[in-house]
């Protein structure tokens, strides 16, 4: 499956989702919807035993929320929270974040939601919740859980 922002590949029993939304692999509404379809496809594929998520390119795993798509914020945040919860609570296969560069904001939350996180040896790569610099709290529900 290859669409505008998500590439889903399968190699034997391993599914790999590559997030490809240049220049910094940020999440907008279209990317989240494509990601949801990819996750659902992997969940339904009985031969897939593990899912790996990585970012395209060498600089960023992802820089989080796409501020250019702020007009869709009322749809983006609930969808992102739902997807991250699906990964944390309900995904039956191991979900691995292969962090290949910067992981910032909501995407650091995504990496934290995965069962396993592996980071490439990139000395310049940064991990951070950049929304704190804007006076915002991380909003995609990984740092706290609703009961």
Tell me 115's DSSP state.
Answer: S
Length of the chain in residues, anyone? Answer: 147
Which H or E run includes 141? Answer: none
Which residues are CB-contacts of 32 (< 8 A; sequence separation ≥ 6)?
76, 79, 80, 83
Task: Tell which wins on pLDDT, 142 or 74.
Answer: 74
Exposure class string for 50-63: b at 16+ Cβ within 10 A, else e: ebbbbbbbebbbbb
Residue found under tokens 């983006």: 76
Question: In the sheet that 127-128 helps form, which strands lie side by side, from edge to edge?
Answer: 60-62, 102-104, 127-128
Give the active site residues: 109, 131
Residue 143 has pLDDT above 80, yes or no: no
Cβ atoms of 51 and 19 within 8 Å: the answer is no
Q: Please, which pLDDT band fits residue 3 given cuts at 50, 70 and 90?
A: low
pLDDT of residue 64: 81
Q: Please, which pLDDT band fits residue 145 given cuts at 50, 70 and 90?
A: low
Tell me 27's DSSP state.
Answer: B
Give the residue extent of every domain in the chain: 6-134
CATH level 3 topology of 6-134: 2-enoyl-CoA Hydratase; Chain A, domain 1 (3.90.226)
Tens of pLDDT, residues 31-65: 999 999 999 999 999 999 999 999 998 889 988 88
Tens of pLDDT, residues 84-137: 777 867 889 999 999 999 998 878 888 888 889 999 999 999 998 887 787 877
pLDDT of residue 130: 80
């Amino acid at each position: 499956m290859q669409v505008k922002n998500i590439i889903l590949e399968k190699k034997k029993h391993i599914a790999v989702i590559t997030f490809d939304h240049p220049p910094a692999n940020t999440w907008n509404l279209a990317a989240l919807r494509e990601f949801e379809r990819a996750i659902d496809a992997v969940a339904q594929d009985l031969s897939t035993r593990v899912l790996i998520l990585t970012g395209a390119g060498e600089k960023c795993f992802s820089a989080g929320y796409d501020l250019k798509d702020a007009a869709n914020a009322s749809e983006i945040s609930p969808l992102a929270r739902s997807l991250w919860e699906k990964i944390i609570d309900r995904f039956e296969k191991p979900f691995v974040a292969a962090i290949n560069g910067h992981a910032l904001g909501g995407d650091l939350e995504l990496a934290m939601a995965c069962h396993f996180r592996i980071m490439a040896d990139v000395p310049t790569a940064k991990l951070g919740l950049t929304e704190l610099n804007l006076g915002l709290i991380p909003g995609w529900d990984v740092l706290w859980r609703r009961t």
